[in-house]
Amino acid sequence: MPFLRPAPPPGTVPFTAIDRVAGDVAARARATPAACVILTVDGPAPALSDLCAHIADRIDHAPVLRYRPDVQRRRWVRTEPFDVGPQLRERELKPGADVQAAALDLPPFRAGRPLWDLTLLHGHAPGEYALCYRSHTMFQDGTAVVGTVEALFGRRRLPEPPPNPGRTGPRAVPLPPLRRPAHRRRTPWSLPARTPTGRFAMHAIELDTGRLLTVARAARTTVNQVCLASLTGALRAWTPPDRADHRAALPVQVPLNLWPPERSGALGHHLGLLRVDLPCGAPSPREHLRQVVDQTSERRTALHRALARALAPSMPYTLLRTVVAQCERAGVVGQFVTTLRVASGLTVDGAPVRAVAIAPAPVPLVRLAVAIVFYGPRVTAVASVDTALAGSAGGPERLGVLWHAALAELCALHS
């Protein structure tokens, strides 16, 4: 007779192995390890009381927001009754202040409360304000964060988190053999960037959608593949000594979404990882695009997604913790590039959201993280760089300038 786990108590959801490992990694972070979704809205900032009333009215669209961690019992616990007031903050910024920097500088989450908050930021620019939805890395992954924002300010309605957060998609069997990634003995950065500080600098980069579409149509690729290829050219120019060898590649981890379409409650983590070796050593932008397309093909992505769906539900915590530690020592988890699509038409009390950016969570494993967001006609990337790397490479602002230049060069070759 197969072993059956007892059902968890009502209103509770057990931690998954990924939740626990995410908590372990986050515990070593200097800054609050949380991803921030930044919504830019035109018009005067609402009163915090009005914003609180809006969130309270929409809380049934995102039941996940009621759940707080119970670390001792290793489970998420629904809070009843739930008051949204303590989750909301307001901060008036100085004129010209950087919103990403303000999001990175928010205070820690309140003890005993759910691991999210919503901050109203205003004063930085005339005629607009920003909302920052911040979610702890242990609480939600990127797709879950986006689903929650869409439920609060869009048309999505999330279900109650399931009591057994196991498989989130069909198991694909049999699984074909997959190439084992090469083992790196050091990080792909020169000294002093090899020793991370755990402190980060961030910069938002608005990519030229017209150029992205021009290349994608001419080369018959996806817009996301063009984003990765142009980022490759930017990274090549960003730290030239590290890319002198034409065979040099920069390994990045690309998260794979394993959630079903309804997001299944948007609690915890349901993702896999696809390793992509960005060919930063190659001088040709066409070669950058060719290799990116080859490594992110539908077939390869589907194989890795199937593997993750098959293994994730049964992956024991001790094994996953060991794998993460080995990857950290091998230098293969130091760079992440994630792409997220946000449903268009978000509004805040009737006012349309003009732009959406996502600031990656500052976690100690990561030296460079880039979050690319598609929202309506806009493509916005936020680069988060460990200050050791930023100091030696010129910072994320310079990376943004080089990314624009690399995209322009790629576009010129396909016009």
What pLDDT digit, counting tens, does each position of 358-391 carry? 999 988 778 899 999 999 999 999 999 988 888 7
Q: Pick the closest to residue 380 from 95, 130, 61 (CA basis).
A: 130
Q: How far apart are CA 240 and CA 247, in angstroms?
A: 13
- Please tell me whether residues 271 and 387 are part of one structural domain: yes
- Please tell me whether residues 208 and 312 are part of one structural domain: yes
Confidence bin at 323 (pLDDT 50/70/90): confident
- Please tell me whether residues 118 and 218 are part of one structural domain: no
In a domain, 375, yes or no: yes
Percent of the chain clearing pLDDT 90 (strictly above): 63
Stretch 152-178: mean pLDDT, rounded?
68
DSSP letters for 243-267: G-STT--EEEEEEEE---TTGGG--
Confidence bin at 345 (pLDDT 50/70/90): very high
- Please tell me whether residues 237 and 324 are part of one structural domain: yes
Angle, helices 285-295/223-238, rounded to nearest 10 degrees: 130
In a domain, 173, yes or no: no
- Please tell me whether residues 142 and 234 are part of one structural domain: no
Confidence bin at 170 (pLDDT 50/70/90): very low
In a domain, 184, yes or no: no
- Please tell me whether residues 236 and 366 are part of one structural domain: yes
Q: What is the pLDDT of residue 243?
A: 65
Ramachandran quadrant class, 331 (left: phi over 0; alpha: psi -120 to 50; beta: rest): left
In a domain, 171, yes or no: no
- Please tell me whether residues 254 and 370 are part of one structural domain: yes
Q: What is the pLDDT of residue 46?
A: 96
In a domain, 95, yes or no: yes
What pLDDT digit, counting tens, does each position of 58-109 carry? 999 999 999 999 999 999 999 989 999 999 999 999 999 999 889 888 999 9
The overall pTM is greater than 0.85: yes
Q: Where are the beta strands (DSSP E) in 183-268?
A: 200-207, 250-257
- Please tell me whether residues 270 and 329 are part of one structural domain: yes
Which tokens sit at 133?
């939805």
CA 138 to chain CA centroid, nearest Å: 13
Stretch 19-38: mean pLDDT, rounded?
88
Q: What is the pLDDT of residue 140?
A: 96
Angle, helices 142-153/48-58, rounded to nearest 10 degrees: 110
In a domain, 178, yes or no: no
Beta pairing partners, 369: 336, 384
Q: What is the pLDDT of residue 31?
A: 81
Stretch 180-184: mean pLDDT, rounded?
45
Q: What is the pLDDT of residue 402?
A: 97
What pLDDT digit, counting tens, does each position of 251-262 carry? 999 999 988 876
Where is pLDDT greater, at 69 or 245? Answer: 69
- Please tell me whether residues 235 and 366 are part of one structural domain: yes
Residue 157 has pLDDT above 80, yes or no: yes
In a domain, 334, yes or no: yes
Residue 41 sits at φ, ψ, to 5 deg, of -125, 135
Q: What is the pLDDT of residue 326?
A: 78
- Please tell me whether residues 28 and 138 are part of one structural domain: yes
In a domain, 163, yes or no: no
Q: What is the pLDDT of residue 188?
A: 66
Residue ending a domain, choose from 93, 124, 153: 153
Residue ending a domain, choose from 153, 180, 210: 153
Within 8 A by CB and 6+ apart from 397, the residues are 203
What pLDDT digit, counting tens, does each position of 251-293 carry? 999 999 988 876 677 898 888 899 999 999 999 999 999 999 9
DSSP letters for 306-337: HHHHHHGGG--HHHHHHHHHHHHHHT-SSEEE
For residue 45, give its domain range: 12-153
- Please tell me whether residues 110 and 208 are part of one structural domain: no
**CATH code of the domain containing 386:** 3.30.559.30
**CATH code of the domain containing 141:** 3.30.559.10
- Please tell me whether residues 140 and 217 are part of one structural domain: no
Which tokens sit at 15?
């931690």
Number of domains in the chain: 2
Q: What is the pLDDT of residue 174?
A: 40
Average pLDDT, the chain: 88
